Amino acid sequence: MVTVRKIPRTIRRAIESAHSERVLAAQQDVSGRWHVGTDAALHLAADSDDLRVPWEQVESLSWDAEASTVTVHWGAADALHREVVAFDGAGRLVELARERVDASIVARASERVGDGRETATVVARRSPTRQGPITYSYLLDKGLSSDDPQVRDATARALASVQDDLGVRADPGAAGADETG
């Protein structure tokens, strides 16, 4: 059973003043640390380390009911990071996180690699607050390598399709300006 405690005012004020974000949900983990969801980001261990992960950088978020844990994967600085947090129950924070991550996706396109079944997918994302640039994530089916010319071709086609959908076709000479992978 989830014990609901109100987020301490000091944590709420610190997040709101430091980041100009609106707190939407908060939950304590089994060790008593607070994790906070705002309109713009997920704050892990907000009362100590405050690891701020913008929603548009969250690649996946999964709830394991049996273990009562949330696993968050996010991309930043060309690396994929992972954090596992144990709660007494799912709570409102998990629900909010799923909604905010979905709200950050503005377009998606997949292209087949060569003649196979494998695909390269490009996901265009922006903060759910609609502030900041559109960023692009590249997802490859298992077994594919970004070094493969056919994968690069499929990824380029998927990126072009997403940019066409958004009406923001990039200048070929400025590739990567607003992209993250």
- The tokens describing 36, both together, are 């906070």
- Mean pLDDT taken over the chain: 87
Q: Residue range 50-66: average pLDDT?
A: 91
- Cα separation, 166 vs 8, whole angstroms: 41
Split at pLDDT 50, 70, 90, the class of 54 is: very high
pLDDT, one tens digit per residue, over 116-163 is: 899 999 999 999 888 889 988 888 999 999 999 999 999 999 999 999
Cα–Cα distance, 24 to 125 (Å, whole number): 21
DSSP codes joined into one string, the chain: -PPP-PPPHHHHHHHHHHH---EEEEEE-TTS-EEEEESSEEEETTTTT-EEEEGGGEEEEEEETTTTEEEEEEEETTEEEEEEEE-SS-HHHHHHHHHHHHHHEEEEEEEE-TTSS-EEEEEEE--TT--S--EEEEEE-TT--TTSHHHHHHHHHHHHHHHHHHT-PPPGGGTTTT---
Q: Please report the DSSP string for 74-122 in residue order.
A: EEETTEEEEEEEE-SS-HHHHHHHHHHHHHHEEEEEEEE-TTSS-EEEE
Which single residue is written with the structure tokens 């409102």?
92
The CATH number that domain 9-103 falls under is: 2.30.29.30
Question: Are 140 and 148 spatial neighbours (Cβ–Cβ below 8 Å)?
Answer: no
Residues of the chain with pLDDT > 70: what percent? Answer: 90
Confidence of residue 172 (pLDDT cuts 50, 70, 90): low
For residue 66, give both structure tokens. Answer: 């049996």
Q: What is the mean pLDDT of residues 34-61?
A: 90
Domain with CATH 2.30.29.30 in the chain: 9-103
